[in-house]
Amino acid sequence: MKLTYKVLPLFIACLAVACTSESKRVKEQQLKSALTIDSNECEATVKKIFFNLPSPVEITQTLLKTEEPFNSDMLNSAENLEKYNTSSSLALNFGVYGADLCYCRVYDQLQEAINYLSVIKKVTEKLQIPEDEGSETINRIEQSLENRDSIFYIISDTYARADSYLKENERDMTASLILVGAWVEGMHFATTLAIQPNAKEEIVNNIVDQKYTVANLINLMNTYNETPEVAALTDEFNKIQEVYNSIEVAYDKSVVVNTDKEDHITSIDAPVTVKITPEQLKELARLMGAIRNKIIG
Amino acid sequence: MKKIISILSVAALCLAISAGAQAQCKTFIKNECKPKLAPYIYNGQMNSAVLNQGDMAELMLTFYSNQDYRIVVCSDGLGDVTFRLLDLQGKELFTNADHNYTDYWDFSTNSTQLLTVEVSVPENTTEEEPKSGCVSILVGFKEK
């Protein structure tokens, strides 16, 4: 009988894991119904939906195509690391520090980059990501700091290994929050620069382009909104989405698709006209600042 | 008691098989799929699942106008897997069925868009037991 009491909770735990997966699958199907405009019979067979967010490298490359000078005040201080003790806060700030590292790389700030490498190492340890999945790769970055071109590849590899390890170990939420943190930090850089006098039009356009990523991000976070920390952030992202929804975007319906069979490439020409007002931009900057403050503490 | 032990053994076996399939999937992605992304930078997100014949999976992805993208769709022993790129209205922009079911393709857009990569595993048309296997959608990007 004693053995029964010992094994039953284990069995229930196993069932709970199975039920969680089932509930996640049902949620994904609900999301699919919400997202699909034209329903068709194939819908029933969609087994898995993935929502990808830009990686720290991609977001910084996308948002920081600018000649603005390096500004260390925009970065999250390494000293803040001590404040992060929950898995969610660590994951979010793993992303934040990753974007900070990429920002330093964009501006060739090697000493700052080394400091952020050290912080990221500590975060991976706190998140219990094994060394061969995270920190070892970071050692490679330290050895390659002089080789600028390889650094982005190595940073990407670091985040890919962490993502893979976390997903294999049923820590999908942690993996997702890393990307959310990176996106918030990237947007913080961009909106801070965009509201400065004489801000470049390109950076404003890049911010508007994030409209689609916000939609993806909210869909992704809805998968985990049973976690209070995630639910609180989702509320903030909903406010950001409201601003994006108010931005006037005009699509030209004449999409031209050209496929080059030899080069294995398809080019999609879909003209879009966007009108963002200075007020909308300021509101985005304010909301991004607020959400970032919540994340970095 | 015997019943509980039997149930637990089955549950443990299921978990072990699932873990084994995932580990196999990871090795497959690392060896067979990731190298196909080069020279693009991997976006770091492992979109993989064990799918059955007839199943579909989808990836929602923002294609930024200032980046080029490579999509790699890998499958392990599931036949000619189809992958299509669709816009938000469901309009097909690309299908690999027109290109001998190639497992990778590059994309470039002149305006940022949210697009869907839809992956379909062919139905089982034989009388054999339906197969299942690892399917992975990987994304690479590079600055234009």
Domain boundaries, chain B: 2-143
Asked whether residue A83 falls in the same domain as residue A219, the answer is yes
* Interchain pair B104, A264: CB under 8 A: yes
Cβ contacts from A onto B, under 8 A: 173
In percent, the amount of chain A with pLDDT more than 70 equals: 77
Q: How many other C-beta atoms are found inside a 10 Å radius of the C-beta of residue B87? A: 18
Preceding amide of B39 cis, omega within 30: yes
Cβ contact, residue pair A52, B59, below 8 Å: yes
- Residues A33-49 have pLDDT tens digits of 444 333 343 444 688 88
B39–chain A Cβ distance below 8 A for any pair: no
pLDDT in tens, A170-199: 899 999 999 999 999 999 999 998 998 888
pLDDT: is A114 or A252 the higher one?
A: A114
Residue A28 sits in the same domain as residue A138: no
Quote the pLDDT of residue A137: 58
Please report the ipTM that was assigned to this predicted complex. 0.84
Domain extent, residue A6, equals: 2-45
3-state SS assignment for residue B144: coil
CA-to-CA distance for B62 and A32, rounded, in angstroms? 17
Cross-chain residue pair B137–A50, CB shorter than 8 Å: yes
Q: Establish if A251 belongs to a structural domain.
A: no
Residues 6+ apart with CB under 8 A from A129: A135, A162, A165, A166
Q: Are residues A86 and A22 in the same domain?
A: no
pLDDT at B144 (0 to 100): 85
Strand order in the sheet with B113-120: A46-51, B56-63, B113-120, B82-86, B92-95
A218 and A158, same domain (yes or no): yes
Judge whether A124 is closer than 8 Å to chain B, CB to CB: no
Same domain, A6 and A84: no
Identify the pLDDT of residue A44. Answer: 41
A24 and A63 co-located in one domain? no
User: How do the pLDDT tens digits run along chain B, 144 residues long?
Assistant: 666 666 656 555 555 555 566 677 878 888 889 999 999 999 988 899 999 999 999 999 999 988 999 999 999 889 999 999 999 889 999 999 999 999 999 999 998 888 999 999 999 888 788 889 999 999 999 988
Angle at A160 between CA A158 and CA A166, to 5 degrees: 105
Domain count, chain A: 2
* B45 neighbourhood in chain A, CB within 8 Å: 50, 52-53, 55, 160, 163, 175, 179
| A236 and A99 fall within a common domain | yes
Candidates A80, A95, A102, A216; CA nearest to A154 is: A102
Q: Which of A175, A177, A181 is nearest to A162 (CA)?
A: A175
User: Beta B56-63 vs A46-51: how paired, if at all?
Assistant: parallel
Residues A178 and A211 placed together within one structural domain of the fold: yes
Same domain, residue pair A159 and A205: yes
Of B140, B39, B41, B142, whose CA–CA distance to A153 is shortest?
B41
| Residue A64 counted as domain residue | yes
Give dist(CA A130, CA A116) in Å, integer: 19
Q: Where are the alpha helices (DSSP H) in A195-277?
A: 201-209, 211-222, 228-246
Same domain, A180 and A291: yes
- Check whether residue A68 and residue A41 sit in a common domain: no
How many angstroms separate the CA atoms of B44 and B114, rounded? Answer: 18
Q: Which numeric CATH code is attached to B2-143?
A: 2.60.120.380
Are residue A108 and residue A216 in the same domain, yes or no?
A: yes
Is residue A256 in some structural domain?
Answer: no
Determine the residue among B30, B47, B64, B139 to mutate to test chain A binding: the one whose Cβ has the most chain A Cβ atoms within 10 Å.
Answer: B64
Return d(Cα A108, Cα B16) in angstroms, integer: 47
Looking at chain A, which residue has its C-alpha nearest residue B93? A257
CA atoms lying within 13 Å on the CB side of residue A223: 25
- pLDDT value at position A285? 96
Comparing CA positions, the residue from A256, A268, A264, A267 lying closest to residue B99 is: A264
If we measure between CA atoms, which residue out of A177, A170, A293 comes closest to residue A234?
A177
**pTM for the structure as a whole:** 0.79
State whether residue A279 is helix, strand or coil.
helix
